[in-house]
Amino acid sequence: MRIFGKGRHRPSASWRQATDRAFTLIGDGRYEDAGALLTRAADLEPWLSESWFNLALLHKFRHDWEQARAAGLRAVALLDRDTGAPDWWNVGIAATALQDWPLARRAWQAYGLRVPGAANDSGEPVGMDLGSAAVRLSPEGEAEVVWGRRLDPARIEVLSIPLPSSGRRWGEVVLHDGVPHGERTTAAGHTYPVFDEIELWAPSPVPTWVVLLEAATESDRDALEQLAADAGFAAEDWSSSVRLLCRMCSESRMPSDEGDGEHLDPHDHSEPGHPGPLGHRTDGQLWVPERECGLAAPASLVRGLLDGWVADSPDSRDWRDLEEVC
């Protein structure tokens, strides 16, 4: 056995007992008590990368990023493999939270990911082209899954308009965990992971509004969404985009959108026949003209967008009850 070397050995019974008890306490939210046990485990077996990995994980749960980075670096120094270790992923999350971009680059590269730019680049990693994903906002509270664009392995820019209960806005960037909890599939057959939010990384100055629309057809609704997008902001028909799912359904592989109409989604736990966030399904009609819509736009612009939308087709469009909600 080599202390602080890469030789491995079986952890002591005391180490295993302390570690097992610590993770039980973590599951109960008792982070302080868990921290004392994991610190004791690291004192017992300081040459085990797992000792420091577990401490880094605890500090991540506590959002103590300085400590997570320090413990994570001790863990990777003791690894017995060169790439692909989850220890590096946790270092990358902590470095991203702290905007320690050189370390974040090093972590993603050590994990085995390609990071554009020079290895010693001190700027924020850009151009990783990781595509779209879903993120579960407030996973320990009133969780909501929304769509976003992955900026790097630990951050997603929110492109959906979250419900006000989430406390999140369109355009915000959230830090997310590395292990997906669930998937969303599209009609085209593409599958996207669902990551859990850890914390808000960058806020958005754009407020969220809710408005009741009278849209005679789907194309009328689509016209408002396109008008908002052309202005550099967003509109989303919550009446058709929102479903209420139990935790088991949400964390499984789910179709991303079952749509309105006669189809009844067996995983949808909302009430049929009620448009809005509590009603994804309709009572059999193909289209319900009254739509509850979320808008992400500045106060100086939002009414002009709605009025312009109505002016383009006054016989088939109207709006009322505009309210800022987040």
Residue 9 pLDDT grade (very low, low, confident, very high; cuts 50, 70, 90):
low
pLDDT above 80 for 281:
no
**106-160 pLDDT tens trace:** 999 999 998 887 766 778 887 788 898 999 998 887 789 999 999 999 999 999 9
pLDDT at residue 313 is higher than 90: yes
The pair of structure tokens assigned to 66 is 């300085």
Higher pLDDT among residues 43 and 250, named by residue: 43
Whether residue 83 is predicted with pLDDT greater than 60 in this model: the reply is yes
Distances (CA, A) of 24 to 11, 13, 33, 87: 19, 17, 10, 21
Residue 250: which pLDDT band, with cuts at 50, 70 and 90? Answer: very low
- Once rounded to an integer, what is the mean pLDDT over residues 201-208? 97
Q: What is the pLDDT of residues 52-76, one digit of tens each?
A: 999 999 999 999 999 999 999 999 9
Report whether pLDDT(244) > 60. Answer: no
Amino acid identity, position 55? L
